[in-house]
Amino acid sequence: MVQNIIEVRNLSKSFDISSKEPGLKGTIKHFFRRQTKSIKVIKDISFEIKEGEIVGFLGANGAGKTTILKMLCGLIYPSEGSISVSGYLPFRRKENFLKNITLIMGQKQQLIWDLPPIESFYLNASIYDLDKFEAKKRIKKLSEMLEIDEELFIPVRKLSLGQRMKSELLAALMHEPNILFLDEPTLGLDINAQRNLRKFLQKYNKETNATICLTSHYMKDITSLCKRVICVQEGAISYDGKLDLLLKRLSPVKEILIVCRSEDDAIKLENFGFTVKNKIKNEITIKIENDSITSSLKTILNNFDIEDLFINEPPIDEIIGKILIKKNYDF
Partner 1 sequence: MISNFINRKIFTLFKVQYSNMLEYRVEIALWAISGIIPFFMLNIWTNNNLNESINISDIMLSRYFLCAFFVRQFSVVWVVFSFEEDSLMGKVSPYLIQPLNPFFRYFAQHLAEQITRFPFALIIAFFFFIFNPESIWFPNLGILLLSIISTFLSFLIQFLIQSIVACLCFWTEKASSIERLLFIPTLFLSGLLAPVVSFPAYVKSWIYLTPFPYLIDFPANLLSGNETNISGGLSMQILWIFLLFPLFKKIWSEGTKKYTAMGS
**What is the contact surface with partner 1 in residues (CB under 8 A)?**
15, 70, 73-77, 91, 93, 95, 98-99, 101-103, 105, 108-110, 112, 114-115, 119-120, 122-129
Residue 222 CB, nearest distance to partner 1 (Å)? Answer: 21
For partner 1, the closer CB: 169 or 269 = 169
Label the pairing between strands 211-215 and 228-233. unpaired
In contact, 179 and 213? CB cutoff 8 Å? yes
For partner 1, the closer CB: 15 or 272 = 15
For partner 1, the closer CB: 102 or 223 = 102
Residue 266 CB, nearest distance to partner 1 (Å)? Answer: 57
- CA dist 187 and 105 (Å) reads 9
- CA dist 286 and 304 (Å) reads 14
Residue 230 CB, nearest distance to partner 1 (Å)? Answer: 20
In contact, 175 and 123? CB cutoff 8 Å? no
Residue 114 CB, nearest distance to partner 1 (Å)? Answer: 4
For partner 1, the closer CB: 92 or 326 = 92
For partner 1, the closer CB: 102 or 143 = 102
Residue 171 CB, nearest distance to partner 1 (Å)? Answer: 9
Residue 1 CB, nearest distance to partner 1 (Å)? Answer: 29
| Cα torsion 251, 252, 253, 254: sign | positive
Residue 255 CB, nearest distance to partner 1 (Å)? Answer: 41
Report CA-CA distances (Å) from 48 to 89, 129, 202, 252. 15, 30, 21, 28
For partner 1, the closer CB: 70 or 198 = 70
Q: List Cβ neighbours of 203 (8 Å cut-off, separation of 6 or more).
A: 145
For partner 1, the closer CB: 18 or 302 = 18
Query: DSSP letters of 102-132?
Result: EEEETT---S-TTS-HHHHHHHHHHHTT--H
Helices (H), the chain: 23-32, 65-72, 95-98, 117-127, 132-146, 161-173, 191-208, 219-225, 243-250, 263-270, 293-303, 316-325
Q: At what angle do helices 191-208 and 132-146 cross, to 10 degrees?
A: 130
